[in-house]
Amino acid sequence: MFDLELGLDLSGDFYTRHFQPTPSEDTLILNMGPQHPSTHGVLRVILEIDGEYILRAEPVLGYIHRMQEKMGEVKRYEQYLPNMGRVDYLHALAWNWAYVGAVERLMGLEVPKRAEYIRVITCELNRINSHLLWWGAYLLDLGAFTPIMYAFQDREIVMDILQRVSGSRLTYCYYRFGGVSQDIDDIFIEKTKEFCAYLKPRLKMYKDLVTDNIILRKRVEDIGIIEEETLRKYGATGPVLRGSGIKYDVRRKEPYSVYSELDFEIPTASSKDALGRYLVRMQEIEESLKIIEQALEKIPPGPHISPQAPRRPKPPRGEVYFAVEGARGEIGVNLVSDGSAYPYRVKLRSPSFSNLSMFPEIAKGTLLADAVSILGSLDLVIPEIDR
């Protein structure tokens, strides 16, 4: 369709026009999504396929764009807190931390030691939760139904623990400027210790059931190999980067909070394929358990929120960047303040966006069924990409 009066090409949206079919008659243009079970949300990928092989792939974004960044400019600092639980619903506490940490850095606010330890414990519990859901959902994509049920059984325990202190089960709004909203109690500590003891044999069971399974190995081994150059080019972070053998973790490279006092490893895999990313995430769950156990022993008494914490913060003029390590990679908040009660600009750096950007390059030349495996191994959360 062509509008003569306006001189506009109105056929299809921007992406469809951008993605013109090639003259060849052998290829087929295929839409994967926006409603596709393996895209976990509303991600649309346009594929040009020759038989079962992908020639070109292009992700289309923006189906659940909610103006999270704009909302930061029209809400006061403290009013923006609940938004952070909704950017990435799986690792909500990391986003909470990134924003709260940025405001604290801008204001020069000290956080009590106890609050820092509470943050570490809850954030790591949330990371385990996120990895467990990814594990279940990824295997669901690959055709195994039962693992997600086991994953949800474990997730339920973590959600009960976190609900006790934060009041929510998924979209947490727990951290406050200068601390956390509620102190942890003895039952929380006891339950968390119980959970750590419970999950270890479960992880062994997962290894027997899934990781060593020959069907899974066939679907993930030597599939979706990402070279270091591609990772560097697109700014990939998190388990995707570590799955290709690069030892980068914000918790170690740019230590924030009390992570420098805790002893843990950064798991990496040298195979660069989907299996590498899978193994990195499974080892990360074990490392998180290690961190939680150490933090529970080291946690000092004291206030859970700084006495100087303002109810309505008004940071001085300036710009600050604060990054934390989320389940998917580096989560960053760039905050600009003009000295008023409203932020001038809130830029959210989401790891899933960078990780997805690599997809056209990795998917080129692979089978359609492998593309599903690659997409799942990137661990995408669509609300985080669109923001």
Partner 1 sequence: MIGSKLKETFDGVVSLLIGLKITFKNFLKPNLTVHYPRKTVKPEELTGYRGHIELVPKPENPFVPRCIGCGLCRDICPSGCIEVRSKRIAEEKEIHTPHFGLQDTPLDLTRKVAPPQKTKIEIVSFELNYNYCSLCGLCVQNCPAGSLRFSKDIYLASFSSRDFEFDLLKRLEKQAQARLKEEEEWTK
The reply on whether position 132 binds partner 1 by CB under 8 A is no
Specify the residue, 101 or 239, whose C-beta has the smaller distance to partner 1.
Answer: 101
The reply on whether position 27 binds partner 1 by CB under 8 A is no
Residue 97's closest CA among 87, 263, 344? 87
Specify the residue, 5 or 311, whose C-beta has the smaller distance to partner 1.
Answer: 311
Yes or no: say if 144 and 327 are a contact pair by the CB < 8 Å rule.
Answer: no
The reply on whether position 160 binds partner 1 by CB under 8 A is yes
Specify the residue, 42 or 170, whose C-beta has the smaller distance to partner 1.
Answer: 170
Handedness of CA 121, 324, 206, 41 (dihedral sign): positive
Minimum gap (Å) between residue 368 Cβ and partner 1: 24
Quick one: which segment of 9-17, 125-133, 203-211, 296-304 binds partner 1 (CB under 8 A)? Answer: 203-211
The pattern of x and - marking residues 60 through 79 that bind partner 1 according to CB under 8 A reads ---------------x--xx
Strand partners for 84: none
Specify the residue, 188 or 256, whose C-beta has the smaller distance to partner 1.
Answer: 188
The reply on whether position 311 binds partner 1 by CB under 8 A is yes
Residue 39's closest CA among 364, 274, 359? 359
Neighbours of 139 (CB within 10 A): 24
Member of 54, 165, 327, 331 binding partner 1 (CB under 8 A): 165
Q: What is the token pair recorded at 146? A: 């039962």
The reply on whether position 135 binds partner 1 by CB under 8 A is no
Handedness of CA 105, 296, 173, 254 (dihedral sign): positive
Minimum gap (Å) between residue 168 Cβ and partner 1: 6
The reply on whether position 186 binds partner 1 by CB under 8 A is no
d(CA 252, CA 236): 17
Member of 27, 213, 306, 357 binding partner 1 (CB under 8 A): 213
The reply on whether position 83 binds partner 1 by CB under 8 A is yes
Q: Site for partner 1 (CB under 8 A): how many residues?
A: 35
Neighbours of 312 (CB within 10 A): 10
Strand 8-9 with 28-32, pairing: unpaired
Specify the residue, 167 or 302, whose C-beta has the smaller distance to partner 1.
Answer: 167
The reply on whether position 194 binds partner 1 by CB under 8 A is no
The reply on whether position 182 binds partner 1 by CB under 8 A is yes
DSSP letter for each residue of 173-216: --EETTEESS---HHHHHHHHHHHHHHHHHHHHHIIIIIT-HHH
d(CA 304, CA 301): 9
Residue owning tokens 């959600």: 159
Member of 35, 163, 308, 340 binding partner 1 (CB under 8 A): 163
Member of 36, 105, 113, 164 binding partner 1 (CB under 8 A): 164
Residue owning tokens 């119980």: 194
Containing 354, the helix (H) or strand (E) segment is helix 351-357
Rg of the chain on CA atoms, in Å: 22
The reply on whether position 214 binds partner 1 by CB under 8 A is yes
The reply on whether position 334 binds partner 1 by CB under 8 A is no
Residues that bind partner 1 (CB under 8 A): 75, 78-83, 85-86, 146, 150, 153, 156, 160, 163-168, 171, 173, 176, 181-182, 187, 205, 208-209, 212-215, 311-312
